[in-house]
Amino acid sequence: MINALLFSGILLIISVLSSKLLYRFGIPTLLIFISLGMLLGSDGIGGIYFDNYAIAQQLSTLCLVFIMFYGGFGFNWKTGKPVAAQSILLATFGVAITAFLVGAFATIIFKTSLMEGMLLGAVISSTDAASVFSILRSKNLNLKGGLASMLEMESGSNDPMSYMLTIIVLAFMKSSGQISVIELLSKQIFFGLAVGVAVSIAAVFVFNRVKISIEGLYPIFTIGIVLTGYALSELLSGNGLLCVYVIGIIMGNTTLIHKRSLVHFFDGMSWLMQIILFFTLGLLVFPSQLPPVFFEGFLVSIFLVLIARPIAVFSVLSWFKVPIKQQLLVSWVGLRGAASIVFATYALTSNLPFANTIFNMVFFICLVSILIQGTLIPFIAKKLDLVEQSVSVYKTFNDYQDEVYTKLIEYKIENDHPWAWKTIMEANIPEDILVVIIKRKKTVITPKGFTEIQPGDIMVLSSNNFESLPS
């Protein structure tokens, strides 16, 4: 036990310190943590032998649940709304097109069966948000035309589609085609969305109506919400990943008490989940088994980057008359990552004879994608003249907190004011206005979410724009 704790502590320290070093150079954190897993695995200096695919799949899925939730929680809907339609279509139809093209390519070139090819296509069809935005954040590289928000929403929401396709192909193979694909797909989407919306609405209601005395319990309550939503969706044959992403978006873009502390908590938790996820996947792979899939993996990588991804992107974005240069950049910024490797473990746990080959090939494709595509994103964005110099990329996230409020005013609450006798949470105070203090007769009150606003109160407000205040 003590040895395991010591090992875990040292691993976390190394992960954090190494990520700080490589983050500066724009190298995705996925590569850091996976490399540590490979280094300490059976083929590395650590000699840790780990081949329990079932445990790896369950642990990885759990990590992915919280990564997906925080991806939605951190997404700024106000910034992303103008490109929401493009992002959603890329995350659904774009993923399906990519999966079909890769599946057809593998079937024709490698002489696999159609279902084997389609399984590879389904597993590798989603893009990795963590890799993309670790690069953009490290370089503070915002993109013109709302591309940063489009890429964030697409890469953050396309894992559920890839997951659905993987599950459908596996179910089709196990049942020898005796399933209704339409029924399975409909259940995945309907129950994933329905449970996500229902659970998030209930969670917001409880957050803003039920006072919990200990502030530290709010994150724990949120963890319970996420786990409940995922489990309920899966029990109803829905898409659990889609469910928790929806919960994240709704909760993240709704006024919540202690929201800032939730952001800090789940930001740290998301990083911890990424470290566990990537290290587990790195430990699961045997580097000595990668050379046999080098040629096939490299061919699929080239096909993905130069043919499949561009066709999927142009098929969707051309309808919105998006400029060619922007479509080219979106085509390039389609990094494959951890989710694809996690979905490849589903093939391993299904005991398919070719599953190990698919897992190793997907792992190799992800490494190539991160090393080549990832490192060239800043260069290509600048060459295409799509770098936005005046706006920070952090504004596409809900955890952006660098806004400086420069004006202070005293605002008196009259008897007929719409905020009177309401708590700060209930008053629907505009998000760009900060309540600094409340003066009540001779008392100065530090405002909290449950602080009631009373007639006669003088509120000290801070903002850059007070036009939205009730007159």
Q: Per residue in 111-157, pLDDT tens?
A: 888 999 999 999 999 988 767 766 766 666 678 777 888 888 888 88
- Min mean pLDDT across 33-47, 249-263, 384-398 is at 384-398
Q: Mean pLDDT, to the nearest integer, of 34-50?
A: 78
Which amino acid type is present at position 449?
Answer: G
**Collapsing DSSP states into helix, strand and coil, what is residue 388?**
strand
pLDDT, mean over the chain: 84
* CA distance to 53, 159, 407, 425, 470, per residue, from 466 (Å): 56, 40, 9, 18, 9
pLDDT value at 185 more than 90: no
Structure tokens at 115: 């279902």
At 331, is the pLDDT very low, low, confident or very high (cuts 50, 70, 90)?
very high
Q: Is the CB of residue 379 less than 8 Å from the CB of residue 333?
A: no
Task: Give the CA radius of gyration of the chain.
Answer: 24
Res 27: pLDDT: 61
Q: Which residue, 223, 230, 229, is CA-closest to 272?
A: 223
Res 398: pLDDT: 52
Structure tokens at 368: 């190539």
Q: Mean pLDDT, to the nearest integer, of 411-425?
A: 85
Number of neighbouring beta carbons within 10 Å of residue 98: 30
Residue 384 burial by CB count (10 A; 0-12/13-18/19+): exposed, middle or buried? middle
Q: Mean pLDDT, to the nearest integer, of 219-233?
A: 95
At 400, is the pLDDT very low, low, confident or very high (cuts 50, 70, 90)?
very low
Number of Cα atoms under 13 Å in the Cβ half of residue 229? 34
pLDDT value at 29 more than 70: no
Q: CA-CA distance, 334 to 54, in Å (whole number)?
A: 28
pLDDT value at 323 more than 70: yes
At 396, is the pLDDT very low, low, confident or very high (cuts 50, 70, 90)?
low
Res 205: pLDDT: 87
What pLDDT, in 10s, does the model give residues 335-381?
888 889 899 999 888 888 888 899 999 999 988 888 888 888 888 88
Q: Which residue, 194, 72, 145, 63, is CA-closest to 386?
A: 145
Q: CA-CA distance, 39 to 278, in Å (whole number)?
A: 12
